[in-house]
Every structure is written in structure tokens, then in C-alpha cells.
Amino acid sequence: MYHTILFDLDGTLTASGEGITKSVQYALARMGRPEPDLKKLELFIGPPLTEQFMQYAGYDYATAKQATGYFQERYETVGLFENKPFPGVGRLLQGLRDSGRTLCVASSKPERFVRIILQHFGLDSYFAEMVGAHMDETGSHKDEVIGEALRRLGLTDHRAGTIMVGDKSHDIVGARQQGLPAIGVTYGYGTPAELEAARPLQIVNSLAELRDFFAADKA
């Protein structure tokens, strides 16, 4: 049985796209590169922001860090709360915890934001640990976040029975780099093709399917 479950946050537990894309849009406008189409900015959901600004806009590192600063300027006051849990998340987490499993959040967003979001929605009590990056984005690569989660949980040398759940390819790849299997969820912001290419243990299309996966996972 999988006794420890690591969850991504954005696109896995909460529908955070509005707050993230609008904050990216704000940052790009401040940088003199307006982008009216929020859909085009969904690629910023999940990965480290500075790297995404470099990739999307062709910025060098220093310029991308400036854009990230503008992002945080809006996100930490407004964008954090342009967000909501997916329907049924609380029931899923309650059921998993009641079955004796240990739950943890492992997100590439700054840990301060992770904690504020989970506390705001009353979800923090379900998790033994809530792990994210530093505010300067160090430790933000998914394998680093997962490694830190394992360290805090005391599982660095005992990884069997631990699994990652996420909606983007970097969740799956990061888990594999840490020797863990992963479940890809298609109801978030990653595409089915992206998830299939990353080769997770399982792909599920809804929270109900995710719940069924763990219900069938018996000791």
C-alpha cells in the first residue's frame, strides 16, 4: 500500500490558474511586454517562474528575476486568493487520512504562499508537511522539493510506499528523479499528451478516479 502521498498544489489540489496567469500578465505589462491572452500564460503554472520568464520572453536571468518580482508584487496581495480547491478535494484528503496515510504537499511555489493558500481554504490540517521553495526560488525544481519533503518526513532512506500526484510533466519527472512513482491528473493544467510522455505509473481524469485508485490500493 502507498502509505505516504505527496501532492502538487496548483492544478492538483486547487484551480489556481486565474491568480497565476493574471499576475504573470501584470508582470509582463510592467516589463513592457503586454500579453492579453491569459491562456497563453498557463505554461507558467507549476514550474519555477524565473526560468519560465526566461523561456517565454527570452529574458536573461537578471531581467527574468525582475519580472518575477513584479509577479510576486501582485500575487502575494491579490493572486493568491484568485484560487479555489477543486470540488471534492477536502473529502478526498479526509478519506486518505482516515485510511491511515500520511499526506504532504510538495510544490515549486514559495513555501510561504503554499501555507497561506492551504490555511485560507482550511486544508492545512490534512498535511503532515507543506513543502515549497524559498522566496528567492532556490530549491524550486520539483526533484528538490520532493527531496526536501522526503527529508522532513524522515523517508530519505525509506522511500518504498511513497507516491507523488501532480498535473504536469515536471511532477512526474521530479518524482522519478527521487526514485518515486507518480500519478498524473488530467483535470489540472497539463495536457494528456504531456503526461503520457512523462510515463507516470497511472493517469487519472478526475478526483473520483484518484480516490478509486487509492481505494483499490490495499495493504
Hey, which residues are catalytic here? 8
Q: Are 122 and 23 in contact, with CB atoms under 8 Å apart?
A: no
Q: Are 105 and 114 in contact, with CB atoms under 8 Å apart?
A: yes
Name every residue whose Cβ is closer than 8 Å to that of residue 20 and which is 6 or more positions away in sequence: 10, 41, 44, 45, 75, 79
In 10-126, which ranges are E strands? 14-15, 84-85, 102-110
Backbone angles phi, psi at 187, to 5 degrees: -85, 0
Contacts 24+ apart (CB under 8 A), 72-76: 72/23, 72/135, 73/26, 73/27, 74/22, 74/23, 74/26, 74/27, 75/19, 75/20, 75/23, 75/113, 76/113
Name every residue whose Cβ is closer than 8 Å to that of residue 18 and which is 6 or more positions away in sequence: 38, 79, 82, 83
Task: Look up residue 46 and give its three cell numbers.
Answer: 507549476
Task: Look up residue 70 and give its three cell numbers.
Answer: 513584479
Distance from CA of residue 91 to its chain's centroid? 19
